[in-house]
Structure 1
Amino acid sequence: MTNIPRNSDNFCYRHPDRQSFILCQRCGRTICTQCQTPAAVGVHCPECVREARGNMPKVRPQVVTRMNSLATSGGPTATYALMGLSVLGFLVSLVPSAQGALLFYGAGALTEPWRMVTGIFVYGGLSSIIQLAFNVYMLWAFGQMIEQQLGRVRYIGLYLLGALGAEVAASLFFPYQPVLISGAAMFGLFGAFYVILRSRGEQAVQILVIIALNVVIGIFFGTPWQNYIGAAAIGALTALIYMRTQHRSQAMQQRLLAGGLAVALLAILLVRSASLVGLAA
């Protein structure tokens, strides 16, 4: 048997006790079977593999690149975000214990303030799937047009203010009843869309018909139609503020008016909740 003379070049550079005659195709260092990574031609050592991976272009998930593309191109990213939150809220509502903890509750606005936020997106479980489909479709049909008209930030502010309007109505008429605000919040967009169309001199009777039909259906089935009116009224008022303060020089005035409306609605909710807690005590 022929003994191969010991040569450091014939041993793995990472494991000096392991003899090998395989070389890395990139750097030429000797590597054992444990350190070899198959490549298109030959094998590579760990350092060369790490360097190659570091030089590879970073590929972002398709969802991220799509959203970035929409954001830079003026796409309706806020509308897509609200649609996603609606679906997420529906999935969360499938957990029975989540509904009781997250639905809006007028009497608990002061002691459980998170309900004012979660109540906007959570649903009533599997039975609300039709409501979810209606909301997602209306967001797609009306939301992206309003977002294009107002911009993302003002559009989201409009949606949240409309939801606050629905919550104020719920706290006034149904203070001790957990209420679904997710459906009523859509009517804030209807009220706003009516004002936007009228400000352009266009006809908007179809919007009033949609609101009236839902109110009639709400009265017939005993659903809290007052919430629809509250959301539509505040949505219309918010859009009116936006339309009357469009000039760049009126930006501060617009922020003050919209912010003042939000503060006023929150104050009504909290004062109403405090009075209900006091009455209960």
Structure 2
Amino acid sequence: MRQQRATAPRTKSAFLTRFTGPRQPTVTYVIIGICILVFIAQWVTGLGNGPVTSSLWYAGIYGYPNGAVVQTSQGAVLASFEPWRMITTAFVHANILHIALNMYTLWIFGIVLEPMLGRVRYGVLFVLSAIAGSVGVYLLDSPVQPVVGASGAIFGMMAALLIIQRHLGGPITQLLVLVGINLVISFLPGFSIAWQAHVGGLVGGALVGLIYTQTRARSRRALQVVLLIVLAVLLVLVGSWHVFAGA
């Protein structure tokens, strides 16, 4: 196989090897493992408002400084500034069906994306998509509505794969349909789905995918790192806007 790949004609599909990393999706398995361990801890300590769940979930009020009293439709809320929740919320799930669906979808996209991008770039994509999902919640949802789940990060993975496939000239119709169906489902009433996280994850993942496709050459690797850092900083700044606005 190695000889065939080395002597194959240089086509758009062969160009994909410039993204190729280790075949084993180790990071995907690690993320799934962490989510399962966290869910077991949630189950033992009580789902819903249990101590594990409530210490890791995310809501807009966590963008405010310590001690700030936020006036909401639910009344005055004592808020805190805990930006790490923008990531930890991706490892928390509401019930067994929620984690099962998310982990299956994560595995489906992980086994494609991780070997394509490599472990580090794939891990960065997951983290930045998770943060972007939280930013979507911060900007579009109630400041006292907690949100949990990895679906924001998963939507980011979908968007990144779509951008990469489009850039490489690969088929995107089925992926577009899949993203569209999942996005429509996000807005259906009665399912308590955080569409805000899905929209935020889509935008964040698309930006990461765009950065990857535009900085594929080795000579542009330093620019890739700089752009990813800038994106991460911007996401955290937006997600913490009220801190800097003096709310």
Give the alignment's TM-score, normalised by structure 1.
Answer: 0.67
Check 1:273–1:105 CA distance in 2 against 1; reply closer, same or farther (3 A cut).
Answer: farther
Aligned-CA RMSD value? 2.0
2:30 partner amino acid: A
Determine helix, strand or coil for the equivalent of 2:90.
Answer: coil
Residue 184 of structure 1: aligned partner:
152
User: Which protein shows a greater Rg?
Assistant: 1
Give distance in 2, aligned partners of 1:231 and 1:206: 20
Residue 114, structure 1, aligned to residue 89, structure 2: no
Deviates more, 1:224-233 or 1:89-98: 89-98
Show the 5 A alignment for 1:43-192: 74-94=23-43, 95=45, 96-110=50-64, 111-124=81-94, 128-174=95-141, 175-192=143-160
Residue 214, structure 1, aligned to residue 179, structure 2: no
Q: Matched residue pairs, number?
A: 203
Cα drift, residue 74 of structure 1: 4.3
**2:87, 2:130 within 8 Å by CA — same for their partners in 1?**
no
Residue 242, structure 1, aligned to residue 196, structure 2: no
Check 1:73–1:263 CA distance in 2 against 1; reply closer, same or farther (3 A cut).
Answer: closer
Check 1:73–1:220 CA distance in 2 against 1; reply closer, same or farther (3 A cut).
Answer: closer
**2:63, 2:82 within 8 Å by CA — same for their partners in 1?**
yes
Larger RCO (CA within 8 A; separation ≥ 6):
2
Give the alignment's TM-score, normalised by structure 2.
Answer: 0.76
Give distance in 2, aligned partners of 1:77 and 1:269: 30
Gaps of 5+ in 2: 1-20, 65-80
Give distance in 1, aligned partners of 2:152 and 2:92: 12
Check 1:114–1:269 CA distance in 2 against 1; reply closer, same or farther (3 A cut).
Answer: same
Counting aligned pairs with the same residue, the percent is 35
Residue 203, structure 1, aligned to residue 157, structure 2: no
